[in-house]
Amino acid sequence: MDYKIESNMQFPLVSYDLLPNETVRIQSGAMVYHTGDTELKGRLNANGGSGIGKLIRAAGRSMVSGESVFITEVTAGSQGGELALAPNVPGTIQALEVTADKNYYLNDSAFLAMDGTVQYSMERQSLGRAFFGGQGGLFVMKTSGEGTLLVAAFGSIKEIDLQDAHDFTIDNAHVVAWETSLNYDIHLEGGGVIGSIGTGEGVVNTFNGTGKILIQSLNIENFANVLKPFMPQPSSN
């Protein structure tokens, strides 16, 4: 599939040149423009099943993971077409090649688009991870299939290549994606609630093993807290 990440822009978008009847699946609401008889269809974001059962599964996943109930399927017409999309936060877009031997976990809001046979499913975390996960919630997203996956980050992206790493710890809100070859553990920094409050770090991911991690330079939760004093407050009347 022919695509281009428009890197000459302060906040990039992605443009696709779609072949006749070619399909790409994108984050709901990410479309900027399209041409010709390109068709957009909203699909329930759940694997397998049909009808009300599939709707309930998609809604349940949305409640616990923060992802959309729907995913948008874009299909070009008989003459092909153009498509542009952008993430819902200012930052960076990066392509990851998914193969039978290389898959990824994604944190919330990282998914932007996927082509080929790439899919993702929601993988349940342990009870401790589910309780403490500020991002990821009860599930993290796990890819499968083959093709190109586009991820979006808040701010800039840095790649970290770990080789037989032991206890490499990253603030969870800065983690975008990581290879499934890595072992990970989501927990509170400082050994517990009191220690976490003392360090100010909160929830972290600790990685072990060999593989690649993508992190983002900005923390959307901290950014929201900076803006909070300037937001209109509800009237007490």
The phi, psi pair for 218, rounded to 5°, reads -115, 155
pTM of the model: 0.83
CA–CA gap between residue 218 and residue 105 (Å, rounded):
19
Among the listed residues 29, 38, 42, 185, the one whose alpha carbon sits nearest the alpha carbon of residue 111: 29
Among the listed residues 26, 176, 28, the one whose alpha carbon sits nearest the alpha carbon of residue 110: 176
The domains of the chain are located at 1-86, 90-237
Instruction: Quote the pLDDT of residue 236.
Output: 64
The phi, psi pair for 39, rounded to 5°, reads -115, 135
Decide yes or no: CATH 3.60.160.10 for domain 1-86. yes
Please state, as a whole number, how many other Cβ atoms lie within 10 Å of the Cβ of residue 18.
Answer: 25
DSSP assigned state of 217: S
Residues composing the chain = 237
Q: Tell me the pLDDT tens digit for each residue of 167-209.
A: 999 998 899 999 999 999 887 776 544 444 444 457 888 999 9
Pick one of 3.40.190.10, 3.30.70.20, 3.60.160.10, 3.40.50.300 as the CATH number of 90-237: 3.60.160.10
What confidence tier does 123 reach under pLDDT thresholds 50, 70, 90?
Answer: confident
